[in-house]
Amino acid sequence: MIFIRTNYIVPPGYGAISIYPLVFIRPEVDTPTLRNHENIHGKQIEELLWGPFYVLYIAFWVWGLLKYRDHQRAYQRIPFEQEAYMHEEHQRHLYDRRWYHWRRFTV
């Protein structure tokens, strides 16, 4: 992943956004933990390829929005995000994780 420090592309309320292979990250929250979180998304994108990842990401979010009627809760329940948040502090996760590890999580 290629990290670009900027305040202009990242949506308000977020620290970073991945648009493979680029990660736009706010300088004030640029930490090894956040970088690892975004690198986990990079692995997820590599598994599914670019298009299917983003289609599934949006589908999971919409499903969560319909289910919970809450934007933040829907975001937190996206399986890709659940894996990334659960393992963002484990630097070895990128090397030890099994393919499609995100499938263990549900919306």
User: pLDDT tens-digit profile of 7-32?
Assistant: 999 999 899 999 999 999 999 999 99
What gap in Å lies between CA 42 and CA 6, rounded to an integer? 19
Fill in the DSSP letter of residue 28: G
What's the pTM value of the predicted model, to 2 decimals?
A: 0.93
pLDDT in tens, 26-57: 999 999 999 999 999 999 999 998 889 999 99
Q: Can you give the pLDDT at residue 50?
A: 83
Contact 77, 68 (CB under 8 A): yes
Written as six digits, the tokens of 107 are 């919306």
| pLDDT band (50, 70, 90) for residue 64 | very high
Give the β-pairing of 22-25 and 16-19.
Answer: antiparallel
Which pLDDT does position 7 carry in this prediction?
92
What are 4's two structure tokens?
Answer: 């670009």
**Element of type H or E holding 12:** none
